[in-house]
Each structure stands twice: as structure tokens, then as C-alpha cells.
Amino acid sequence: MISRRHFIRTGTAVSVAAILPLPSMGMGNQSGFRKFTLCLNAGNIGVQANQQELLDMAVKHGYESISVDASGLGEMPEGTIKSFVKEMKSKHIKWGSASLPVDFRKDQSKFKEGVKPLRGFARAMKKAGADRMNTWILSFDHNLTYRQNFKQHVIRLREVATILGDEGVRLGLEYVGPRTLQALGKYSFIRTMAETKELIAEIDRSNLGLVLDSFHWFCAGETTEDLLTLTNKEIVAVDLNDARSGFTADDQIDGKRELPSATGVIDLKGFLEALVTIGYDGPIRAEPFNQPLRDMDDHDALKATYQSMRKSFDLLG
């Protein structure tokens, strides 16, 4: 997994630096209930777990879906995958999304090496019934201008999306909103929903969509009206986070966030209500990049994350 937390910690980045649905307050889809799931992505909160351990954690702590370990599934025999999926269904746990295991941001040889096993991972996901994968777009570059970077993203992500699409897997692209991160590079790049939609349109693959993050939505200065322009089909995955108090949207730092509903800085009620309205039916995960949370033992981190997510979902009434 090419996580942004890992990227930020590396020298490269340093240099650049089963629960019932809740009602929707009467403004939602035809059913009047949320369709999205409270998803556990353990790596996002500093908890290490393989696919089986993740399932066990989700059941124990009340989560409704789990992230996908694409490489782990790729190593499982087909019979083991079938047994695992059967266990998931019996415990009312759904699939979330997998992280794209390809680094498309560096040199061509690195990209080509990462692409080689991708089709095998996608086939394993297809066997398991998992059909969502996500990655993120770095909002600057030291060497490539905006147009050069845009062209490179189009070429490489089109290749990735084509491979995944052949196996029925969707790919979501996450924009990273903080201006403080974009300012670390010589050349600025995508940091808003509108720009990401332009990239998706240029790549022109039907299995491409957005990854929304309430933190980036806030930092990009976007509104619920922006969310309401989207359809369920356009959204592959969603991250739910809050922002630190005492900082403007322009002063927020990508690697320092809060658990959902921890501060109330971000309008999570409006954010979630918009997702209900457009009928979003995928996973919603916490990705706080929060050091106190990472310092907790696994049980406490899982419990705290669930409680913050549930508190946010309860805003829907």
C-alpha cells in the first residue's frame, strides 16, 4: 500500500515535506436511510492487521465493512477466498476499498514494476466480490509543471484503470486539499474536486471515480452544493475526519487531523446528509493521521474510532 502517511514520513515527503441503517432526516434517497457503511481501515488508525484479523476486529467492535488487502487476497488459494467471503456474509460484514499498490508518482521503471502484479490482485478481488480500489493525488511536484504532471497522470492512471476495469474493479482518485502541502513543491498540482474531475474526464475510463475526504473538502473551500453535483456512481470511497481547532482551512496540515466530530470544525452533518441525498452506498472510513490515536493500544484505538464515527453518523438523526 502506498499510503500518504508513509509518503510524508519518507525522505521524499520530508523534502517536499452489523448495525441498522440510520434515518436521513427526511432529505435522503428514496429509502430514507443511509446506504453507506461504517468501515474499518485499520492502517489508517495505526493498527496492523491481516485480512482475517481485520474481520475479527470489525465484528468485535461493531464496524460494518472492512478494507481490502489486495495483495493478501492475491496470495490466498481460491478455496480460502470463498471460505473467507462466506464468513464475512455470515457476520454481515461488507467489503470496503483497497489501496492501489502502484506508485505512479515516481520514475517510469518504478511505475512499470508496480503495475506487473496488479492484474493478479484485481482478479483475486473479483473472486472475493470486492470491487473498489483507491489512491491519492499529490498536490505538487518539484520537477513537473502542472501540464506535464497532468499528462503523466493521464497516461499512467489510464493504464492502471484499464487493468482494473478488465476485472470489474473501480478506481477512486483522492485530491489532497491543504494549501500548506501544495506550497511545499516548486509546481502546484491538483487539490480540488473540480480539478480531479477534469483529470478523470481526460483519462476517460468508466471505472474511474472520486475518493472524497471531509478534511480535503473543507481545506479546498468546497460546500455541500459541490457534493450534490455528484452521483453515487462517481464516488468510490469516502474518508471522514475533523480538523484542528484554532486554524483556518488554509492553515490546516495534512498530517495533523482529528477524529470525526472531535472538534466540530468541519460540517460533518452537512457532508453526510449530502451523501445520503445522492444515495452513496460505499464505505466511509476514518483517516485522522492523529498521533494520540496512533499511541493507543489497538483495542482503545479501534473503540475510539468507532465511537467517533458513530457519533458522526448519529448527526443524521
- Chain position carrying cell 483556518: 248
Residues 6+ apart with CB under 8 A from 140: 16, 181, 182, 183, 184, 185, 186, 187, 188, 189
Q: Which DSSP letter does residue 23 get? A: B
Residue 3 pLDDT more than 70? no
Binning the chain into helix, strand and coil, the percentages to the nearest 5 are 45, 15, 35
How far is 78 from 135, CA to CA, in rounded Å? 26
Please report which confidence band the pLDDT of residue 317 belongs to, taking 50, 70 and 90 as the band edges. confident
Q: How far out from the chain centre does Cα 269 lie?
A: 19
> Which domain CATH number covers 78?
3.20.20.150
Q: The whole model's pTM is what? A: 0.90
pLDDT digits (tens, 9 = 90+) for 205-252: 999 999 999 999 999 999 999 999 999 999 999 999 999 999 999 999
Bridge partners, 132 (sequence order) = 170
Residues 6+ apart with CB under 8 A from 270: 224
Residue 7 pLDDT more than 90? no
Q: Which residues of 60-82 are buried (b: 16+ CB within 10 A; e: fewer)?
A: ebbbbbbbbbbeebbebeeeebe
- Regarding predicted confidence, which is higher, 263 or 32? 263
Domain with 24, as residue range(s), is: 4-316
Please state the domain count of the chain. Answer: 1
How far is 7 from 13, CA to CA, in rounded Å? 5
Among 271, 189, 191, CA closest to 227: 271
Query: Is 274:227 a contact under the CB 8 Å cutoff?
Result: yes
How far is 199 from 136, CA to CA, in rounded Å? 12
pLDDT digits (tens, 9 = 90+) for 22-71: 333 333 344 458 999 999 999 999 999 999 999 999 999 999 999 999 99
From residue 139, alpha-carbon distances to 108, 114, 117, 239, 302 in Å are: 19, 21, 27, 18, 30
Residue 13 pLDDT more than 70? no
Residue 12 pLDDT more than 50? no
Tell me the residue ranges of DSSP E strands in the chain: 37-40, 65-68, 94-99, 132-137, 140-141, 170-175, 187-188, 208-213, 235-240, 283-286
How far is 233 from 236, CA to CA, in rounded Å? 7
Q: Is 292 helix (H, G, I), strand (E, B) or coil?
A: helix
Query: Is 279:29 a contact under the CB 8 Å cutoff?
Result: yes
